[in-house]
Chain A
Amino acid sequence: MEASVAISRAEGLGRTLRRDRWWVAPLSVAVGLGICGAYATWAIFQGRNYFAEPYLSPFYSPCLGAQCPEEIRLLEFGWWPMSPAILLMWVILGFRGTCYYYRKAYYRAYFIDPPACAVGEHRGHRYRGETAFPFVLQNLHRYFLYLSAFILAFLWYDSLKAFFFEDGFGVGVGTIVLLVNVGLLTGYTFGCHSLRHLVGGNVDCYSCAQFGDGRHRLWRGATFFNRNHMAWAWTSLIYVCLADLYVRLVASGIITDLRIL
Chain B
Amino acid sequence: MSERTFRIYRGMQQQGEIVAYRVEISEGMVVLDALHDIQEQQAPDLAVRWNCKAGKCGSCSAEVNGMPRLTCMTRIDELPADQPITVTPMQAFPVIKDLVTDVSSNYAANKSIPAFKPRSPDAPDGSWRFYQYEVDRAQEFKKCIECFLCQDVCHVLRSHGKHEEFIGPAFLVRVAAYETHPIDVEDRSTYVKEHGGIGYCNITKCCTEVCPEHITITDNAIIPLKERVVDRHYDPLRRLIQMVRRTG
- Write the residues of chain A forming the contact surface with B, with a CB cutoff of 8 angstroms: 1-11, 16-19, 100, 103-104, 107-108, 113-114, 117-118, 120-121, 123, 127-132, 135-136, 139-142, 193-194, 196-198, 201-202, 204-208, 216, 226, 229
Q: Is B113 an interface residue (CB 8 A)?
A: no
Kindly identify which residue among A5, A114, A198 contacts B159, using a CB–CB cutoff of 8 Å. A114
**Chain B interface bracket (under 10, 10 to 19, 20 to 34, 35 or more):** 35 or more
Cβ contacts B73-105/A at 8 Å (1 or 0 each): 000000010010010100100000000000000
Given contacts A4-B19, A118-B67, A121-B155, 20 further A-B contacts (CB under 8 A): A2-B20, A3-B20, A5-B7, A5-B17, A9-B88, A9-B91, A18-B67, A19-B83, A104-B202, A107-B202, A113-B204, A114-B159, A114-B204, A117-B210, A118-B68, A129-B156, A129-B199, A194-B230, A202-B228, A207-B131
Using CB atoms, name the residue of chain A closest to B179.
A204
Which A residues are CB-close (under 8 A) to B209?
Answer: 117
Q: Is B191 an interface residue (CB 8 A)?
A: no
Say whether A4 contacts B234, CB under 8 Å: no
Question: A2 with B22: in contact, given A7-B11, A17-B88 (CB under 8 Å)?
Answer: yes
B129 to chain A, nearest CB (A): 8
Inter-chain residue pair count (beta carbon < 8 A): 161
**What is the interface of chain B mostly: helix, strand, loop, or mixed?**
mixed
Say whether A4 contacts B83, CB under 8 Å: no
In Å, the complex CA distance between A71 and B182 comes to 53
Say whether B200 contacts A100, CB under 8 Å: no
In Å, the complex CA distance between A207 and B128 comes to 12
Question: A201 with B227: in contact, given A1-B42, A2-B5, A135-B202 (CB under 8 Å)?
Answer: yes
B152 to chain A, nearest CB (A): 8
Say whether A10 contacts B91, CB under 8 Å: yes
Which B residues are CB-close (under 8 A) to A18?
Answer: 65-67
In Å, the complex CA distance between A136 and B200 comes to 10
In Å, the complex CA distance between A235 and B12 comes to 49
What 6 pairs between A and B have smallest CB-CB spacing? Answer: A17-B66, A131-B199, A117-B206, A18-B66, A197-B227, A139-B234
Say whether B86 contacts A114, CB under 8 Å: no
Kindly identify which residue among B179, B200, B206, B223 contacts A118, using a CB–CB cutoff of 8 Å. B206
Q: Is B21 an interface residue (CB 8 A)?
A: yes
Which A residues are CB-close (under 8 A) to B204?
Answer: 104, 107-108, 113-114
Say whether B227 contacts A193, CB under 8 Å: yes
Interface centre among A117, A123, A127, A132 (most CB of B within 10 A): A117
Q: Is B9 an interface residue (CB 8 A)?
A: yes
Which B residues are CB-close (under 8 A) to A229?
Answer: 219
B82 to chain A, nearest CB (A): 10
B160 to chain A, nearest CB (A): 4
Kindly identify which residue among A7, A127, A128 contacts B17, using a CB–CB cutoff of 8 Å. A7
CB under 8 Å from chain A, chain B span 1-17: 5, 7, 9-11, 15-17
A187 to chain B, nearest CB (A): 16
Say whether B17 contacts A114, CB under 8 Å: no
Q: List 8 A-B contacts (CB under 8 A).
A: A1-B43, A4-B10, A9-B88, A9-B91, A129-B200, A139-B229, A193-B219, A194-B227
